[in-house]
Amino acid sequence: MSGKFVVGYDGSEAAQRALEFAIDRAAAQGGSVLIAHVLEWSPYSFLTPNELEERHKRRREELERAETALMAPVVKAASGKGAEIESVIRYGRIAEVLCDIAKENEAGQIFIGRNGHSAWGARVFGSVASALVQTAPVPCTIVP
């Protein structure tokens, strides 16, 4: 089993718990952690002509913001805890992209936090956790 763990990270407290949990496990096994941030995106959404024109610019800004405001601090904080840390930012449907990242990196496990929506909320808005559990190519750990 590969020693690389993928952690879905969005800056929330739940994601933070999942990350710490994963780092502990990785450190114990001498493995590494890949922190993945997914910007929700569908190629089938509808945009105004103005949004089309600015899309490339906005994407660049979104990636920069995610890198500087979210990923750089968390990578810094996570480093030096006994596990090697990498990070990746991608666009797409969160569960789908996490699965793709796990496959590409031959990761052994995916970790995500659970943000504790009610069952009703999950039904309406969809739940990343349940989508991931249904489709993940590797074992998943949902950290409450």
Partner 1 sequence: MYRTISRAAGAAAGLCLTGAAPAFAQSVDETVNQIFANSTGWFVSFIFSPFPGTSFPWIVAWLVIAATVFTIYFVFIQFRAFGHAISLVKGDYSDPNDAGEVSHFQALATALSGTVGLGNIAGVAVAVGIGGPGATFWMILAGLMGMATKFTECTLGVKYRNEYEDGTVSGGPMYYLTKGFAERGLPGGKILAVMFSIFCILGALGGGNMFQANQAHQQISGIVGDYPGWITGVIFALVVFAVIVGGLKSIARVTEKVVPFMGVTYVLAALVIIIMNADMIRWAFGQIFQGAFTGLGVAGGMVGALIQGFKRAAFSNEAGVGSAAIAHSAVRTKEPITEGFVSLLEPFIDTVVICTMTALVIIISGQLLTDPETGLYLVGESGMIQTADGTSGVSLTSAAFASAFGWFPYVLALAVVLFAFSTMISWSYYGLKAWTYLFGEGKNKEIVFKVIFCIFVVIGASANLGPVIDFSDAAIFAMAVVNVLGLYFLMPIVRRELHSYLERLKAGEIKKFH
Residues lying near partner 1 in the complex (CB under 8 A) are found at 39, 41, 43-57, 59-60, 62-63, 90-92, 100
Nearer to partner 1, 67 or 100 (CB): 100
- Provide the angle, in degrees to the nearest 10, between the axes of the packed helices 94-104 and 128-135: 40
Nearer to partner 1, 20 or 62 (CB): 62
What residues contact 110, with CB distance under 8 A and at least 6 apart? 5, 6, 7, 8, 98, 99, 102, 132, 136, 138, 139, 140, 141
User: Min. distance of Cβ 54 from partner 1 in angstroms?
Assistant: 5
**SS3 labels along 45-108:** CCCCHHHHHHHHHHHHHHHHHHHHHHHHHHHHHHCCCCCEEEEEEEEECHHHHHHHHHHHCCCC
Nearer to partner 1, 43 or 80 (CB): 43
